[in-house]
Structure 1
Amino acid sequence: MKHAKHSNGTAFKIVAYTVCILLTILSLMPFVIMLVNSTRSTYEIQQHAISLVPSTYLMSNLSVLLGKTFNPIRGFMNSMIISVGSTACTVYFSALTAYALVAYQWKGRKTFFTVIMCVMMIPAQVTSIGFYQFMYQIHMTNNFLALILPSIAAPATVFFMRQFMLSSLPLELLDSARIDGSGEFNTFNRIALPIMKPAMATQAIFCFVSSWNSLFLPTILLTDNSKYTMPIMVGLLRGDIYKTEHGAIYLGLTLTILPLFIVYFALSKYIIAGVALGGVKG
């Protein structure tokens, strides 16, 4: 019996590891193909779209890319300002909202949380026309603040932060701090935030990636070339109706995702902890 159980356990591990390896390969393949295609010519890509062998057209693609008014430094700076600003606003104010829902007992708390959940169900595209009209009326178009300040309201992040706090934030510790004379903002900043580091790091990754890859709102709000983000610049590379340089486009996409890898590897150690501790409390 023991030998049979041991054999079944070994077979299960082999199957599990095999599936994990296959999923890893499938996840990495698009990035590998993109990196390889950034070194290939348009003709090579059209003949064989998928290849794992790098070519010798990297510098040619770079010259074509820069020749199409593609300014990676300006695009990086614009995208970085928007992404960092919106991520900071989303993470901090969502944590503050979740703190108010968990640390205080007040009338209408459940109703307020229900409203937040209902707002989370509304697609952003539904409100985009009204949002643009409002930004136009207050002269906030071509302004990065129009893309940063709305990030303060992030229902999904509030939900995640609240679930994390319910399972990991000891209310007795907050009461002790109040007895010692600590103010509410001081208690939040010095006690609650350090405890919430895993959840904040996890949400920071998701918020940064979402803001960096955002194309719809920046396209309708930013019309000044000097304020274009990286996704907008890459989208404009396909504007040539006579010939599309696929190699240059792949190179532009490669440059666009580099900051995402940096942010992910810098904060990835918090993902497992954040997801595990942020589960729904039973």
Structure 2
Amino acid sequence: MAEENHSTVTEFILAGLTDKPEHQLPLFLLFLGVYVFTVVGNVGMITLIGLSSRLHTTMYYLLSSLSFIDLCQPTVITPKMLVNFMMEKNTISYPECMTQLYFFIVFAIAKCHMLSVMAYDPYLQVPLLYNVIMSNQVCSWMVVGVYSMGLIRATVNTTCMLRVLFCKDDIINHYFCDLFPLLELSCSSTFINEVIGLSSSATISPSYIFIIASILHICSTEGRYKAFSTCSSHVSAVALFFGSLAFMYLQPSSVGSMDQGKVSSVFYTIIVPMLNPLIYCLRNKDVKVALSKLLGNKSL
């Protein structure tokens, strides 16, 4: 009977970023501006890569896929958050919450693996067999694999979440339906959910260790410098994303750490998707040349 009562959750309340009414409008305007900039930047990057023949390579095909993920991930979260800034009670229904969680995990896991896949591309530009190894077909299969991993892991995580019993409270101490804030409300065992939620970092980190070790084994100093300089933009994007992600998911669970985690969540869910087009554009000569040519042609 008690279990039956636990399963009658119909909606949650999102605590949001702040409980101070005077901060709601400034935050609404701030995140609206960030979201607009994110949409314009990532759509612009996808369009630029599509229109510029100079950028029709596997590296930029992967970059356009990353831009698509960076467009979708904040879209799952930001519109609802903007609406909540204007509401007195920030409620979200149970089905809507599980749907948001599912698509958030899809794009979060896809982004983790996309960043990992992209790390191989600049590394493989050093060996002579690059054009053989990184064919269009191999690149396409990599992208299919990235989205497949996102869909599979999201399905597993969300299915496990549907089995969780909520009995402590209905207030999610977050601004969207994230995995660990939801688990904080559980009165049933969450061990499996936590293991599955943390498994991504364990499968991705070895990729970067392998790539760095392989570059260090390049005999010539010039070769090592070329490899690292090619990876510089990507390393910046990876550091921002995984740094803020680790701060949220790898710290001790407590109310205080969850409040701090909301700040880091803003970075990897909203700020980093906005910054990635700038990182790859400003630190990439090919993108800057293609952009100047495209703008030059349109100005004629």
Q: TM-score, structure 2 length as denominator?
A: 0.32
Largest Rg, 1 or 2: 1
Q: TM-score, structure 1 length as denominator?
A: 0.33
